[in-house]
Amino acid sequence: MADAYDYRAVEQKWQQRWDEQATFRAREDVEKQKYYALEMLPYPSGDLHVGHAKNYSLGDAIARMMRMLGYNVIHPMGWDAFGLPAENAAIAHGADPDKWTRANIANMQRQVRLMGTSYDWSREITTCEPEYYRWNQWLFLRLYEHGLAYKREAPVNWCPHDHTVLANEQVIDGRCWRCEHLVERRNLSQWFLKITEYADRLLDDLEKLDGWPERTRTMQRNWIGRSEGAQFTFAVENSEERISVFTTRLDTLFGATYLAVAPEHPTVSKIVTKKQRAAVEQFVQSLRSKSELERTSLMEKEGIFTGAYAINPLSHERVPIWVTNYVLAEYGTGAVMGVPAHDQRDFEFARKNALPAAMVVAPPGADVSAPLNEAFLEDGRLIASGDFTGMSSARARKAIADRLVALALGEPKVNYRLRDWLVSRQRYWGTPIPIVYCEKCGEVPVPDDQLPVLLPADVPITGEGSPLANDPAFSNTTCPTCGGPAKRESDTMDTFFESSWYYLRYLDPHNSGKPWDQEIARYWMPIDQYIGGAEHAVLHLLYSRFFYKFFHDRAWVTGADEPITRLFHQGMVLYNGEKMSKSRGNVIGIDEIVERRGVDAMRLFLLYVTPPEDTSDWTDEGINGRVRFVNRVWRACEPFLARARQADPRALPQVSADDEKALLRAVHVAAKSAVDETLSRRFHYNTTVAKLDEYVNALTTLEQRAPDSPAVAYAVHALPLIIAPFAPHLADELWEQLGHTTTVHLERYLEPDERALAVESITLVVQVNGKIRARLDVAPGISEDDAYALAIAQPPVQAQLDGKEIRKKIFVADKLLNIVA
RNA sequence: GGGGAAGUGGCGGAACGGUAGACGCAGCCGCCUCAAAAGCGGCCGGGCAACCCCCGUGAGGGUUCGAGUCCCUCCUUCCCUACCA
């Protein structure tokens, strides 16, 4: 036997050659249709595992397919390099975050290259480089100028032990993830981005995103949480204070039997009665330290009477004002009217605190005197509601709103669940926020020509307090306006800031004058296919849309005001049915697999196990089949290698034998599958790889019977073209050894040929009353009459019909004949 | 509590409303070999002695000439989201 396929040598050879020849360099070319293929920017955690590999195998197959289908493909890669793990490494074992991150990037970049991915490495970006994050700062200043970045006090998660602010995801069951102390809520001054100003557009434009998974759009819709209602005020008895509430159920206004306010509500301390003050203060104090999650999800509804009463603006009834844990200070007005009969939460609260319920909306004919077991949540007809009695809920909402407007007590109002994006982090490893505080001038933005504000090196990172605030060399500066002494902002940016616009920097990564050139962006944007996990369905993908709309409003980008046309969420890769994680110690890294089985086999396996959107299980046996496939391909082609070209894959040979025709058909079925799965954007390459199996099975079979058949030579010469996007190294090696001097990856893909796909005989299924009784091998296009004549000659068909009257015949051309008797 | 996706051989999975189980993994039998590995050929949902035939896509109903596929009810699993007034 000739030499076995040496995947190690071949894979290395082609990776080197693609690199040297810049095979996948992307250039603007107005003559060609562009295609922007992008996988989500990875965090450089240190090692590439098969989960990443699945993502990149898919993205790379798509990019290579589109390139071979004639598109001008841009396919870049980079590193989301700021973030907490680097700082944790510093705290845990004194690593320098910068060195630690760079070492990780170096290793992961090596591994991504090891996969043989067709990235244009000249566009690689690393977000912790000053060349990148200076544009973060620049963009922040533009947001600031437009009033979209602002500072205000906000409740944050504060760990009293570590003296630091925690992100929501670092609070586990109300405790600090690191020291496990109970987290407190503190009001601290924080930077926000006014994403809420774009809430309506972000919501409405979801309609346009028909290339996105419906569930992702739904999640964004829910996250934005637009709700239409009314805001109006209750007067407080014996006080000048007024309490504003928001409701979507104005029709239940006459059923309000109490008023509930959040513990942080500013009027609480003003209206509480002397008798209740101590108890209320104690209650508020006990909640102060509780996070929102704890209050709302983990605790029972609790509350305490303030002693004060409010007056219902229309019924003029006197209702008690309670402080409760279930009203959120951050949503609406921080106060709600309590309507136990028509809101389940209010119902539970009222029952617990012996507050009355008043039914004011009922379905027609309902017995309203019966005691309630739960709130009645539906619309109905109003009862016991003054002038509004008898109206439908919908009409009453309008009429009551009109009345409140007329009395100048309220107005229609739209509220959002979406809140402004808190972007400041009291951390070191991030982009410094380019703001200076001057004693005389106050808050001063750093002028553009002084960017970047460099992140200082050698700052002690202890996990206590803000590292930058504790560094006088960084903190002390002079005011850009008056030159007087000033302090720098010591907070850094949320890393989602970087990833909200990186896809634009890829297009023009070395521009030192601006973040990107608009003309270049005009050519490449929007992203035609974005691939990444569903875990980013809301945050990253919503922030990116927000930024892009802001850019669009500035005319920095043109065309559509959505950055991502089509989105695909690949499924996770499990191992032994479990999510891979470092803590479980079950992470399958790619180095060993690549070494032992080869990259092409790994890529083929990851595409083959499941449809790409499904969760797949890594198995050590499963890849065997793909290793065999790679070797079979090599052996099938071997007799033709290093010889003169014996066939042209663009010229279909004339053959006569059935198995020769079947082979030509298998070739084109596989090609058609690859093209269809790509252009339909279904990307079910698992079925394409199955058809490659059938192709190679047919090839090896015919090769044994008729090694000199032109069909064999043709199938061998077409094979590298067809497998190129899926097994790129093997493909280029075969292509070269079959006598070509240029890479297969810049060739046109094999165009599926109808002549090869056509079949000479089909199996027509004959059913009697829906059950299969015979199968006929006939020429395609057979008429119903001819088929019927053949069918009734079949003994099993005759037996079933047995003189019965034929009532109906169902004929599906080239498929089936159903005789109903 | 709300929203979404999905239930097909031992396993991963195929299947425009029209031959269920393509293709592969694992397993079994055979060939090759002194032997093993690799490779090649075959078998591989259940019932039956059986190539006939019958049953079979989570359960039950429905629509249809015909349902894994469409509709309704239920069960199970997974993911997301949770007091947003």
Dist CA A544 CA A525 (whole Å): 13
* Res A801: pLDDT: 80
- At A1, is the pLDDT very low, low, confident or very high (cuts 50, 70, 90)? very low
CB of A40 within 8 A of CB of A540? Answer: yes
Q: Which residue has the higher pLDDT, A620 or A63?
A: A63
| Nearest residue to A101 (alpha-carbon basis) of A74, A123, A133 | A133
CA of A645 to C1' of B16 (A): 40
CA distance A338 to A261: 10
From the alpha carbon of A260, which nucleotide's C1' atom is closest?
B85
**A190 and A422 Cβ atoms separated by less than 8 Å:** yes
- Give the nucleotide with minimal C1' distance to the Cα of A343: B85
Q: Supply angle C-alpha A149, A150, A153, rounded to 5.
A: 140
Q: Which nucleotide is nearest to A767 (CA to C1')?
A: B66
Closest CA to A625 of A565, A689, A545: A689
Report the length, in residues, of chain A: 821
CB atoms within 10 A of CB A405: 14
Nearest-angstrom CA–CA distance, A57 and A52: 9
User: Which residues make beta-bridge pairs with A35?
Assistant: A73
Protein CA at A762 to nucleotide C1' at B31, angstroms: 34
Are the beta carbons of A119 and A56 closer than 8 angstroms?
no
pLDDT in tens, A39-88: 999 999 888 999 999 999 999 999 999 999 999 999 999 999 998 888 88
In this complex, which residue's CA is closest to the C1' atom of nucleotide B39?
A632
Would you give the distance in Å from CA A411 to the centre of its chain? Answer: 37
Q: How far apart are CA A410 and CA A76, in angstroms?
A: 53
| pLDDT tens per residue across span A102-134 | 999 999 999 999 999 999 999 999 999 999 999
Length A625 CA → B43 C1' (Å)? 19
Q: First vs last Cα of chain A: how many Å apart?
A: 62
Listed as ranges, the nucleotides of chain B within 7 A of a protein C-beta are 3-5, 12-16, 18-20, 22-26, 38-41, 52-54, 65-67, 78-85
List of residues 6+ apart from A39 with CB closer than 8 A: A55, A56, A59, A77, A530, A531, A532
3-state secondary structure of A111: helix
Q: What's the CA A610/C1' B77 distance, rounded, in angstroms? A: 18
- The C-alpha atoms of residue A429 and residue A421 are separated, in whole angstroms, by 19
Q: Give the contacts of A343 (CB within 8 A, at least 6 positions apart).
A: A249, A252, A375, A377
What's the pLDDT tens digit per position in A727-755?
999 999 999 999 999 999 999 999 999 99
The torsion angles phi and psi of A431, rounded to 5 degrees, stand at -80, 120
Please tell me the distance from the alpha carbon of residue A591 to that of residue A493, in angstroms, as a whole number: 34
Closest nucleotide to A535, Cα to C1': B80
Residue A614 CA to nucleotide B12 C1', Å?
11
Q: What is the pLDDT of residues A7-48, one digit of tens each?
A: 999 999 999 999 999 999 999 999 999 999 999 999 998 889
Is A460's pLDDT higher than 70? yes
Quick check: A147 pLDDT over 60? yes
At A605, the pLDDT band (50, 70, 90 cuts) reads: very high
Residue with tokens 């419906």: A214
Separation between the CA of A673 and the C1’ of B2 (whole angstroms): 40
Take residue A339 and report the two structure tokens written for it.
């309507």
Q: Per DSSP, what are the bridge partners of residue A382?
A: A361
What confidence tier does A299 reach under pLDDT thresholds 50, 70, 90? low
Residue A353 CA to residue A254 CA, distance in Å, equals 20
* Predicted pLDDT of residue A533: 87
Q: How far apart are CA A87 and CA A109, in angstroms?
A: 21
Band of residue A171 on the pLDDT scale cut at 50, 70, 90: low
pTM above threshold 0.95: no
pLDDT for residue A296 is more than 60:
no
- Residue indicated by tokens 């099938």: A636
| Torsions phi, psi for A305 (to 5 deg) | -75, 135
Residue A486: which pLDDT band, with cuts at 50, 70 and 90?
Answer: very high
How far is it, in rounded angstroms, from Cα A570 to Cα A588? 18
Q: Which residue has the tokens 């306006």?
A: A481
Find the residue closest to B13 using CA and C1' atoms. A610
Is A245 in contact with A253 (CB distance < 8 Å)?
no
Residues whose CB falls within 8 Å of the CB of residue A233, separated by 6 or more in sequence, listed in order: A242, A243, A244, A245, A313, A409, A410
Q: Examine the pLDDT at A298 and tell me if it is beyond 70.
A: no
User: What's the CA A338/C1' B85 distance, rounded, in angstroms?
Assistant: 9
Spatial distance between the Cα atoms of A452 and A449, rounded to a whole number of angstroms: 8
| Residue A536 binned pLDDT confidence (cut-offs 50, 70, 90) | confident
pLDDT at A2: 44
pLDDT at A644 over 90: no
Mean pLDDT for all residues in chain A: 91
Q: Residue A125 CA to nucleotide B22 C1', Å?
A: 44
Q: Which residues contact A88 (CB under 8 A, 6 or more apart)?
A: none
Q: Which nucleotide is closest to the Cα of A298 by its C1'?
A: B83
Is the pLDDT at A297 greater than 60? The verdict is no
Nucleotide B64's nearest residue (CA vs C1') is A770
Distance A435 CA to B43 C1' (A): 75
Report the run of H or E that residue A593 belongs to, with start and end.
helix A590-597
More confident: A175 or A612: A612
* Exposure string for A34-45, b = 16+ CB within 10 A, e = fewer: bbbbbbbbbbbe
| A344 nearest nt, CA–C1' | B83
- What is the interface pTM, i.e. ipTM, of the complex? 0.94
Distance A616 CA to B21 C1' (A): 20
Q: Do the beta carbons of residue A124 and residue A25 sit within 8 Å?
A: no
Q: Give the per-residue SS3 of A310-364.
A: EECCCCCCEEEEEEECCCCCCCCCCEEEECCCCCHHHHHHHHHCCCCCCCCEECC
Lowest mean pLDDT among A108-112, A154-158, A411-415: A154-158
- Amino acid A585: pLDDT: 78
Nearest nucleotide from residue A335 CA, by C1' atom: B85
Q: Rounded to whole angstroms, how far apart are CA atoms A131 and A510?
A: 8
Which one has a higher pLDDT value, A657 or A295? A657
pLDDT at A759 exceeding the cut of 90: no
Contact A401, A250 (CB under 8 A): yes
Cα separation of A787 and A797, whole Å? 13
Percent over 90 (pLDDT), chain A: 66
Q: What are the angstrom distances between the C-alpha of A526 and each of A492, A507, A508, A568, A788?
A: 29, 11, 14, 15, 55
Q: Which amino acid is at A736?
A: E
Phi, psi of A94 (to 5 degrees): 65, 20
Estimate to the nearest angstrom the gap between the alpha carbon of A281 and the chain centroid.
44
Query: At A341, which amino acid appears?
Result: A
Which nucleotide's C1' is closest to A692 (Cα)?
Answer: B23
Check if the beta carbon of residue A507 is closer than 8 Å to that of residue A525. Answer: yes
